[in-house]
Amino acid sequence: MEGILEITSRQFREQQKNVFEIADRGQKVVITRRKKQSYVLTPIDEDDLYFTPEMLAKIDNSIQQAKMGKKVKLTPELRKELFGDL
């Protein structure tokens, strides 16, 4: 993997296909817009789409349970049980 490719938004528009291929190969691509704002072009995979509607519903449910006092204190013993020896 090479360093960071820094390009302007105009260069991105003109070379979009090539820039996507570069990002697909793992190189970081930074697109600068009028020297005011920059963006990073990053490929995503299934793991990046973790927050599905179902997951968001589970998170909302957990928040409601916490508001109602249904929570568990994370003790050292519970931490070890859940996460092992990190």
pLDDT of residue 73: 84
Tens digit of each residue's pLDDT (9 = 90 or more) over 31-60? 999 878 999 998 887 667 777 788 889 889
Distance CA 64, CA 79 (A): 22
Residue 1 has pLDDT above 70, yes or no: no
Beta-ladder partners of 12 = none
- Domain range list for the chain: 5-41, 46-83
Residues 6+ apart with CB under 8 A from 74: none
Inter-residue contact 83 to 77 (CB < 8 Å) = no
Q: What amino acid occupies position 74?
A: L
Confirm or reject CATH 3.40.630 for domain 5-41, answering yes or no.
no
- Model confidence pTM above 0.75: no
Distance CA 36, CA 20 (A): 22
